[in-house]
Each structure stands twice: as C-alpha cells, then as structure tokens.
Structure 1
Amino acid sequence: MDKFTRQLLCFLFLSSFLATTNHAQEIVPKREFRGAWVATVANIDFPSKPGIGEDRFKEEWASTMAFFKDAGLNAVFAQVRPAGDAFYRSKIAPWSKYLTGKNGKAPRSNYDPMAFMINEAHKQNIEFHAWLNPYRASMDTLADNLSDKHPYHSHPEWFVQYGGKLYFNPALPEVRNYLTEIVMEIVMDYDVDGIHFDDYFYPYPAAGELYPDQEDFAKYGYGYLSIDDWRRSNVNALISQISEMLKTVAPQVKFGVSPFGVWRNASLDPKNGSKSQASIGAYDDLYADVRFWLEKGWIDYVAPQLYWHIGFSVADYELLLDWWQKNAFGRNVYAGHAAYKVGVHTDPAWRKRDQIPRQIALNRIFPNVEGSIFYNTSALKKNLLGMTDSLRYHYFKNPALWPEMKYMNLPLAPAPKLAKAKYKKGKIKIKCSLPAGAENAHYLVVYRFEDRLPGDYENPANIFRIIPLDGRKSLVIEDDSTQKGKSYTYAVTAVNRQHSESNLSEWRAMKIGSKRAKRLK
C-alpha cells in the first residue's frame, strides 16, 4: 500500500469515526500519560520467541519503540521479571527462559538486553518502566527446570506451590528483603524511569484449592483477627519497604502498581467500596490494599486494570474510573485499557470501534485521571477496528508532556539560556545551554509559534520538540520546516524527573524572507 492510499484510508476512517462520537472537538491536553504494556511471559508481546539472537532482539525492540513513537505513546512498561527471572544482568536472579530458552542461560553474545531496551526507548522520548511480577517464581512447579542460580535451590523454604505454579511466600521477612534487593539492583544498575508491579500479589484463587499458609499464620499472625488481615499486612510490608528504599536510594524513580480494576465491592464495604458486582476484588482476594497504599503515599501512581466496557453492569468502566480518581489521595491515576478485547471479544460493546476512544474521552473529563496504559502491545499493533489509528491521528496527534508528580519533591531545574537565532541553508539554528545548577534537568521542551511573538504555552500543538539531555549541558536546536514569508518564535523549558518545567527561557524570533531571514529578537 503506497503512502497516498494509506493516508486516504486513514482520512476516511477518521471521518467515519468522528461522525460516531461526541468528542470530535475535544482539545488534546498538554500533559498526558500514554503507555502500553509489553508482556514477555510466554512471549506474549516480545521477543517473538525465546532464544533469538542479539541482532534480531534489537531489531524487534527498536521496531516496537518506533511503533510506540508513531502511535503517540510516551511510556513503555516492559516485563523484565516475568517469573522470578531477569531480562537483565543480575547477580541474584537467573536469566529468563523467555529470553534465551532456558532458565539461567545467558544470552549467547553476552549483551545486556535491558540496557539496550532502555536506551532505545529514551531515544524515542519514551519513558521506560521496569515491570516486575514480585511473587511469581515459576509458571510451573518443575524445580528441575530452574537453574542452579534460582533461589529455590538455596532457599526452598521461601516458596509455596499453588494452582500449578511456584510463588515466593509473602509471609516471610526473608522474601521481602530479597524482593527489595531485586528492585534495588535494578535502580542502582539501570536508568529506569519507574518500577511497576501489576495485579499479581497473592495469586488469584484456584478452584478447590486452599492457599497453603495456615502454618505461617500460626507462626507470624499473632495479633491479627483474621488470616485475611494478616495476608494484607504481608503485602503492605513489602510495598512499604520498597517505597522507603526507593525514596532513599533512587528518589527520581516512580513506583506504581496496576491492580485488578475493582478494589472492593460496596456490598462488602458500603463506605469505601465501588458500586460493582465483581466476583473478586484486589482487597479481599489478592490481599492488595491499594487504596491504603495510596493514602500512605507509598506509590506514586495507580493504573487500575479497567478491562470492562462503558456501561457493563457488573463492572462499569466509567463508574470504576470515577471511584479510582476519587480514592487516589492526590496520586496520579492512569486508566488500564483492554486493547486486547477490541474487535475480538464476544460482547458487542467490544465490536464497536469507538469503545477505546470513548474511554479516553472519559479519562479527560475526570480531573484526577492523567492518562492511559494499554494492554497489550500486540493488540495495538494489529490496529483492529482502527483503534491505533484513532490514537495516532486524533487523540494522540500532538505530543504530550508526562503528568507532573510534584509530591516527589524534586528540585526544579533553572531556565535554559538561548543564544541569538541564526538562519543558514534553510535552517533556523539556536544554541541552547543550561546554567550552573541544572543537574536536575532531564529533558528540554522546545515551543514554536508561527508568529512574531510567543503564543499559548498550554496548547500542545505549540510543542515543537521534546529533547532528552542525556547529560548534555548545551545543544543546538534546528528547525528545517520553516516557510518563506512566515515568522517563528521559540522558547525553551528544562524539565526534571518529576516532569516539572523550569521557568521559560528568553524567546527568540525570526522572519523568513524570500532571500534571507530577519532576526526579530
């Protein structure tokens, strides 16, 4: 398909799509989180199969990040610890079988997969969040398949078997310390933007099987009225311990959780629960008291998995989104979307092309909802019912800054300094430098206005470029997209890791004539 044909089809799709929604005139926000999960367990999304070589691994990941950029996404959640293993060099966890084909087997060429993944994401201005499954140790109970490096062989007492899988035992202080060490190793060795846990804490209930922790409750549960309260306290202790560690050794790293979409039904908690009728809940069945973690400030954001459609009687997307944004205690809320259901689920609501766009439009209505995360990347790549095109050409058509996290309390960067603009060989060039004390600057935001004076800095259409600094103290901003007869004005801010902008630089302006350019300021 040639470029013209593709653009024509996209235009026809969008014309049809906009005719079916009431949000066609919606203004795209300047700040919005736009992420997707890349699942590695069972090679759901990446890599295409275990044991691929370094070149193919890098090609597949670079292609995925280019797809993210083209779709307007600005964050990736890469599953780097799918089952007690690692997609990175670790002294305390074995290599993942989903990477090399065998638990504990190192990549053939001895490269560092996650280091490449991070660098490639950052090249595309995409945040890299390391997604870990904290308690899952193996997708089966076959110990012979685990490498000698797996802690099961040195500490079998740390583990429980349940539902045909192997799990770290949340009851044990030794397990909490080990899992905290896992996270510390990552943030000390890699430039990750975040640490991310999903919905798997205590495992989902297995039919007809009792979770085997009664002896542990007898040993450790003194003072708790019920085994349920005790289990929640075990998970609370892990979240609190990791949060405290991160704030001490890596305060720039965001810590977030993507829980099951229902915290608790109102039938079980009339005061705090949601008006839902879900068969399970994060609080009562997975022992994840996420609302408490938000209240205590242990996590920086929550991304509930709202994998139901708008109007679903058991668990309504809109109702649950409202519940989470009202119970976030000032933390950011990112909605988890079921992209994998679009066009394939049997419910008619998922056969309509406007389901995900309508959800995004709802996100933008609620004041405390700051963006979206899509599960999964494979579904986005398929573009079923034109879902990804609706992001690329409408909802995410303009770049967006990431939402602020002022509660991280990181210092602001000073305003950049701009030299006089120059025009040479059809390009405007402006040297930008950072003054002393700019160590907290992480990236620059370049604003461009097609006028002699600055315009609206809150309009994302005026964001010309987002430039990662990568330790640089100066660089040259180049613009080769100018047109003769027009004036252009530029200004720049420096942004820290919590995504707070500095004051604006002085602005620079230039008018492009038929033969030469005139500097206006």
Structure 2
Amino acid sequence: MNRVARCCVSYLICLGLVVALAVFLPSSLPVYSQKTSPLTTEIRGVWITNVASGVLFFPWGINRAINQLSALKFNTIYPVVWNRGHTFYKSPVAKMTIGSDTQLLLNFMHGGQDVLAKIVTLAKKKDLRVIPWFEYGFMTPHYSQLARRYPSWLTIGQEGINSIQDAPPEEIDNVLVSHQAWLNPLHPQVQKFIQGLILEVVRDYDVDGIQFDDHFGMPVQFGYDRFTIKLYQQEHQGKSPPTDAFNSEWMRWRADKITGFMAEIYQAVKAVKPNVKISLSPNYQAFAYRYYLQDWETWVKKGLVNELVLQVYRNDQNSFIAQLELPSVKLAQSLIPVEIGISTGTVGNPVKIAQIREQVQAVRDRNFDGISFFYWESLWGYIVPESPQQRRKAFFEMFNAKAVRLSQPKKL
C-alpha cells in the first residue's frame, strides 16, 4: 500500500472512530450541581487537529466540540489550517500554487463549505477565541503535491538526506511519528508561499490570531541544499557551510535568517490587522534552537510574539515542573502572556485525569496565564482510563469559574 493510500485509510479509520463515539457522546452536557467560583482571568485552550481525529470531518463534530468546550468554560481554540501539504480552509494561494484550495476529504465531507468560516462563526457565538494553527509549518510529506511540484523548495541534509522524524526524541511515546520532508524557510519562494497562506487567513477570516509551533524552523541537519549553500557562500567569501551541522556559527547564521523571516511575517500581519495576535507553541528554548534552529527567546525579546504556548508534554511531574522554571520561560512570562501546553493523551497513549489535574495545578501555582491541551479528541472522546462523563466532570471542576481572557500584552 503506497503512502497516499495509507493516508486515506488513516482518515477513514478516524472517521469511523468518530461515528462510533457519537453513540456515547451527547452534544449537550449534564448540569453539574457544584457551586461556581468568582470570575477569574485565565486562557483555556485546546488544539483541534485532523491527525487521529475526525472532529473536523463532520458538521456535527464541529458543533459538538464548540458546544462542549463552551459549556465547560474553555475560551480559546487552535484549529488546524495547514497540515500535510493541505490547507483546511478555502485558499486561493494554495489553489494557485498546488492546484487544490483545501484538503480534499474535508471538502467532500462538508459539501464544499469552508470549514474555517464555520468554526469562526460558531465559536464567536460562544465567545471562544479562534487562533488558526499552522501545524505543519515548513514540513510536508514527500508524496504531497507541494513537494512533487517544487522539489527545489525542499532543503536537505548531507549525503542527500531529505527527511526527518517529526517528533522530538523524548516525545516519541506521546505523539504519532512519521518522517517528513522540509520546505526551506530561507528560500524566497517558500517564504512568499507561507506568508501568503498566513495573510489570507488573517485578511479573510475574523480570527483573533494565528499560531506557529515547533515546526516553524529548520532541522539542524538540513541546509545543505543548493540554494542555501550558495546563499551562505555569497555571505562568506565563497566558503561552503561547515560539515558539522552543529557548528555554532552555521547554526546562528541559519537561525538568524529564520528570525528575519519571522520579523517579516509579524510586520505583514500587523499591517493587515494590528490587533491579530502572533501565537507560538514551541518546545523549550534549548531544544528548539539546537535541533530546529528556532530561537524563540530572541523572537520574544524582539517583540515578534504576542503569546507563547510552551509544549510541556511530560508524564513525570518533576520533569514537567522543571520545564516551567527554565530561565527562558520566566523571561517570556515577564514580557507576554505564557500558557503551558499539557498532553491529554493520544490514541495509543491515554493520560489519566489525575495527571492532568496535577499538571494544571502546577501551572496555576506558578502564575502562568493559561493552559492549552493537546488535543480535542483526547480530552474526553477516546475510550480512556476514565469514562468520558468522568473526564468532563473533572474539567468542569478544574474550570468551575468562568474565565476572561487577557486582552493586553505585558510590559516590563
């Protein structure tokens, strides 16, 4: 079975799972009797993806998600809009570049309706922020139309290595892993394409922000493609890049180029809609820089990020807390709203609600601005250690007070 066929089968399995779960998951929630607390200020978010999840593929799935999240006092959603070389909205830029304006199965299941437009409309009625998530960043599968049409847009490693594992080594047990090609973030045509996707979402939809994550960078082993080598030589008196991918100057040069592109995006977005937030959900700074040349600490210092959602997908509580207390995180806390991303599990790796409660409390004890969960389907949708009803009740208890969102950035 080829990769395209496997991808289709994966989608169908996800859809079947959603249909089966629909029997057990009511669209409305029972009325709990617990007394609520006074109003509080806290960002409460969740990522909505298409990977191992069918929520986006049925109109009632989207309705159910937004209704349940609102009832349980969430206030922010991060719906995927860019994944596996496809957009999840009607994209003129994608249509012009790769020949398709949205993910085909999504388009079929919704009868051609624009899913992002529907999400925005429903969420706004429930007072939920919508911050579209460019999940795949510069990643794309080798079999994607994008990679096949524009091979010169891809960066590579030495000896022709052209793909990497799409998850950090310490997180392989917590996420679905595959090998991906990588668009070159230094290439001007790639930059034009990515920026085009971003700007049309900002311009054409009533969104509160846009979000990038750990895939918005370049794997440290890449950068040995013809374009990048030539660019490096032009700026280094004809010298080729070091063969050591971890050479400090070579790392800094590539990271600074990515920072420069981030600055261009920030300025372009703010020129279209000044109040739209730039949200970033990276791994911790040392890892992000060393392995993905993503110097987000510098981005925060330069004012290129309005909201940070740090991914801290750890099962061990001591390791989880250690991530919260890193100097780069404390610096970000002093400058902008910082949320902590908590894993609620995957299909093969469910997380017990007791661990989720403990991690939420650790975040609150350290005065972070909010929490976001990865991801919607595993909040209370899978057959997990507890029943869906038990998990929903637990979230009701954790979020028993309605929260208002931060509206102004922090200042030194």
TM-score (norm 1): 0.59
Alpha-carbon separation, structure 2, partners of 1:282 and 1:301: 17
1:31 and 2:41 aligned: yes
1:153-204 residue CA offsets vs partner (Å, 9 max, x unmatched) = 3x44222342353322112123223211211111111111110112113466
Contact kept, 8 Å, 2:183 with 2:190, in 1: the verdict is: yes
1:390 and 2:383 aligned: no
Equivalent residue in structure 2 for 1:158, among 116, 129, 153 = 153
Equivalent residue in structure 2 for 1:125, among 119, 124, 127 = 127
Contact kept, 8 Å, 2:92 with 2:101, in 1: the verdict is: no
1:181 and 2:204 aligned: no
- Structure 1 residues not aligned, in runs of 5+: 15-24, 49-56, 265-280, 409-521
The structure with higher relative contact order (CA 8 Å, sep 6+) is 2
Structure 2 equivalent of residue 366 of structure 1: 366
* Range moving further from structure 2, 65-74 or 195-204: 195-204
* Range moving further from structure 2, 299-308 or 336-345: 336-345
Decide which structure has greater helix share.
2
Equivalent residue in structure 1 for 2:325, among 309, 312, 322 = 322
Contact kept, 8 Å, 1:201 with 1:287, in 2: the verdict is: no
TM-score (norm 2): 0.73
Alpha-carbon separation, structure 2, partners of 1:88 and 1:98: 6
Tell me the C-alpha RMSD between the 2 structures: 3.3
Alpha-carbon separation, structure 2, partners of 1:193 and 1:66: 19
Structure 2 equivalent of residue 246 of structure 1: 269
Residue 327 of structure 1 aligns with an amino acid whose one-letter code is L
Contact kept, 8 Å, 1:85 with 1:137, in 2: the verdict is: no
Alpha-carbon separation, structure 2, partners of 1:137 and 1:311: 31
> 3-state SS of the aligned residue for 1:47?
helix
- TM-superposed deviation, 1:376: 0.8
Describe the shift of the 1:325–1:137 C-alpha distance in structure 2 as closer, same or farther (beyond 3 A).
closer
Larger radius of gyration: 1
Describe the shift of the 1:135–1:152 C-alpha distance in structure 2 as closer, same or farther (beyond 3 A).
farther
Alpha-carbon separation, structure 2, partners of 1:44 and 1:156: 30
Describe the shift of the 1:263–1:334 C-alpha distance in structure 2 as closer, same or farther (beyond 3 A).
same
Describe the shift of the 1:213–1:62 C-alpha distance in structure 2 as closer, same or farther (beyond 3 A).
same
> 3-state SS of the aligned residue for 1:359?
helix
Contact kept, 8 Å, 1:310 with 1:355, in 2: the verdict is: no
User: For residues 215-254 of structure 1, what are the structure 2 equivalents within 5 Å?
Assistant: 215-221=226-232, 222=235, 226-254=249-277
> 3-state SS of the aligned residue for 1:327?
helix
Alpha-carbon separation, structure 2, partners of 1:71 and 1:118: 19
Number of residues paired by the alignment?
Answer: 343
Structure 2 equivalent of residue 354 of structure 1: 354
> 3-state SS of the aligned residue for 1:36?
strand
Contact kept, 8 Å, 1:90 with 1:185, in 2: the verdict is: yes
- TM-superposed deviation, 1:135: 3.7
1:49-76 residue CA offsets vs partner (Å, 9 max, x unmatched) = xxxxxxxx32111111112112221111
> 3-state SS of the aligned residue for 1:130?
coil
Describe the shift of the 1:190–1:211 C-alpha distance in structure 2 as closer, same or farther (beyond 3 A).
same
Equivalent residue in structure 1 for 2:116, among 101, 104, 114 = 114
User: For residues 320-469 of structure 1, what are the structure 2 equivalents within 5 Å?
Assistant: 320-323=323-326, 325-328=329-332, 329-340=334-345, 344=349, 351=352, 353-367=353-367, 369-382=368-381, 384-385=385-386, 386-392=390-396, 394-406=397-409
1:309 and 2:315 aligned: yes
Residue 60 of structure 2 aligns with an amino acid whose one-letter code is E
Residue 247 of structure 1 aligns with an amino acid whose one-letter code is K
Structure 2 equivalent of residue 84 of structure 1: 85
- TM-superposed deviation, 1:321: 1.2
Percent of aligned pairs sharing the same letter = 21
- TM-superposed deviation, 1:290: 1.0
- Structure 2 residues not aligned, in runs of 5+: 1-23, 156-161, 165-178, 242-247
Alpha-carbon separation, structure 2, partners of 1:361 and 1:152: 47
Describe the shift of the 1:390–1:204 C-alpha distance in structure 2 as closer, same or farther (beyond 3 A).
farther
Contact kept, 8 Å, 2:137 with 2:213, in 1: the verdict is: no
Alpha-carbon separation, structure 1, partners of 2:41 and 2:375: 22
- TM-superposed deviation, 1:341: 6.2
Contact kept, 8 Å, 2:49 with 2:80, in 1: the verdict is: yes
- TM-superposed deviation, 1:136: 3.6
Alpha-carbon separation, structure 1, partners of 2:205 and 2:222: 36
